[in-house]
Chain A
Amino acid sequence: MSENIQSSEKKKIKLSPQVTALLLALLLFLASGLLPNGFNSAETAINQAFNILRLSSFLALIAAGQTLVIISGGEGIDLSAGAIVTIAVLFTYKFIGGDNAMVLPVLLFVIAMGAAVGLINGLGIAYLKIPPFVMTLGMAGVVTGALLVITRGLYDGKVAPIMTNVIARDLVWGIPGMLFLWIIFGVLMTILLKRTRYGKQLFAIGVNRLTSRLSGVRVDMMVVATYSIAGALAAFAGFILVGWLQNAGLLVGNQYLFPSIAAVAIGGTLLSGGKGSYFGTMAGAIVIQLITSLLTTMQLPEAIQQIIYGLILITLLIIYGREKGLRL
């Protein structure tokens, strides 16, 4: 009896994960102001906020494809996203060579390449029944291996000025151009998920593949399409990322891989599939980025940072990452 009352009370104060994540982000941001080397005036606070939002946007872009793959269910995960980001960063850096005219062709080329890697992922998963975890892990190895063969550890290039202006600099009223890009991207992703046939079918196969197949969804095709789109989105994220980094590296994408999965999970997307939103991933990315920035600002040793990062992640998951138990 008392348990019942408790659970109903719990329901009343239960917020949606996205809102919780945003509130948490706000709280973390205010907390960062209390640090000795945090912000001490409104102006620096706003600058800081924009900076963190900009950093979050790269993480959220990389997490976009991950969101789709995870919603598609079937233990869906894309561990090749980091490697695709890396190869996109390197190719963009190498082929653009500081030329504005090359931006569009290179963008298309990079996206096509990402989609091709994703296509192989999807084919292996849908038709050869390889578990997504190891298939995408293997493809990450293949992409990294191809990168080593192509570059032999050496790379050179330059980012186009237009990319620097839009992505790295402020566009209007001191707001980074990247933020506008991110908002447009977020709206497009949300439309894709909520308003298109693809989105509806994606949630359907995430909840139950068998019933979706019986109601006429071509599940295998959907899986292949989802992994291809995820690959393309990861490549797009790499293209944008290089505009901010102004440099490339042979491992630059890998550090974003697991934070991007964490962002998806914290944003309320079920890792078992069928439920989630890109808005949640955006909020999750802000939270993850804030934690990282906070730990860096506190100038703690690397070891302590890792421990706190892990503990915060666990706490967040406990707060709202719980799945329904067996006792219904």
Chain B
Amino acid sequence: MDNKFVLREWWSNFNRKNTYVLSLVIFLLTTAAYLILQPNAFEEGVLTRLLTSNFRTWLPVIMLAIGQTIVMLGGGLDLSSGALVSLGNVILAISITSNEEPLFNFMIILGVIAIGLIAGFFNGFLTAYMGLQPMITTFATSFVYSGLALLILPNPWGNIPREYTKMYRNTTWLGIPLALFIIAAILLTWQVIKNRKYGRFLFAVGGKPDAAYYTGIRVTRIRISTYMISGFLASLAAIIYTLLTGSGSATSGAEMTLTAITAAILGGTSMAGGSGSLFGSVLGVIILGTIKNLISLSKMDSWYRVLVNATVIIAALASPGIISLFRRKK
């Protein structure tokens, strides 16, 4: 009896500290289903190919979801990150056309990152310093960014050198694609930051901003920095997306924003701030991607796909609530 109680206490503590637990379960279920349905998944080399092709397409959204999670941890929301991907994407597409001038290309990439940081600062300044509503404000700035993208490149175009795109698309090491190394590197960096001053302050700012303020934490600065991180990661997403597609389009990032937010929530991050994990958000993107893959593997009538996809997503979002409903009844 006692043991059971201790176990339950431990479990609820574990759940509170690791908000991603449920998404991990959903991730395992969807991935298992995917691997079972995928013919010859366990043959030589197939798994590596699957990993490579899936993760290289998911990586831009994973970047956005990570940035979004950091903003949400600080109690904000960034609806402009997708527009920043479009902006970075078109700048890269019109500028980088040959691999003979690596220094010039490198400067362009730095420029795109700088734009991401500046745009992020602008978002943060408006929401955190000026005290405007994050949702509607970042929606307004997204218009500015996507308008600029459209101004730069009205029609999709691009000629990224194949050497670059090949490097991103096909690099693997020990059978593990480049994309997974990038994700691991970000998550490890975060693991270090999380337990240091910045990470602690961030969770405090998102959880109880007034209490954080009274203890002397610079709430505004922390919040602005979260938007800058989101802008930075959106720029990285733009670079990766450009390497993935080899061309530019002014609407390339438009649909990524909401997917990234859904993934972050699916991964257990709270929209109210102060609770969540980057690992969960990465799982969220993988889950959303796998659901899409499952639907296309099932050879379902294409008219049903949107409906089934949305229903499955709602079911996944509802699962924590359903579990707690049952618990309450007991």
Q: Which residues of A contact B (CB under 8 A)?
A: 75, 77, 124, 127-131, 133-135, 137-142, 144-146, 148-149, 152-153, 258, 261-262, 265, 271-272, 301-311, 313-314, 317-318, 321-327
Contacts and interface: CB of A to CB of B under 8 A. Distances in A.
A140 B137 CA distance: 22
B6 interface: no
A142 B307 contact: yes
Instruction: Pick the most buried of B266, B307, B311: most chain A CB atoms within 10 A of its CB.
Output: B307
Interface residues of B, number: 51
Given A134-B261, A145-B307, 17 more contacts: A75-B272, A128-B318, A129-B324, A130-B318, A135-B317, A137-B258, A145-B304, A152-B303, A265-B133, A271-B133, A303-B154, A307-B144, A308-B147, A309-B143, A314-B137, A314-B140, A326-B213
A326 B215 CA distance: 12
B272 A138 contact: no
Chain B, interface SS category: helix
B306 interface: yes
A309 B145 CA distance: 11
Given A261-B136, A271-B135, A326 B219 contact: yes
Contacts of B322: 128
Given A128-B322, A131-B271, A326-B209, A141 B136 contact: no
A272 B133 contact: yes
B226 interface: no
Which of B266, B309, B310 has the largest number of chain A CB atoms within 10 A? B310
B29 interface: no
Nearest to A134: B265
B141 A314 contact: yes
Contacts of A139: 310, 314
B271 A313 contact: no
A148 B219 CA distance: 46
A224 B103 CA distance: 58
B310 A142 contact: yes
Nearest to B315: A138
B136, B139, B213, B320, most chain A CB atoms within 10 A: B136
Interface stretch (B17-25, B124-132, B195-203): B124-132
B187 interface: no
Nearest to B321: A128
B152 to A, nearest CB: 8
B150 interface: yes
B192 interface: no
Given A134-B262, A134-B265, A146 B307 contact: yes
Given A141-B306, A306-B144, A318 B132 contact: yes
B325 interface: yes
B142 interface: yes
B210 interface: yes
A145 B137 contact: no
A140 B154 CA distance: 29
B310 A317 contact: no
A313 B143 contact: yes
B148 interface: yes
A152 B303 CA distance: 6
Contacts of A137: 258, 261-262
Nearest to A131: B271
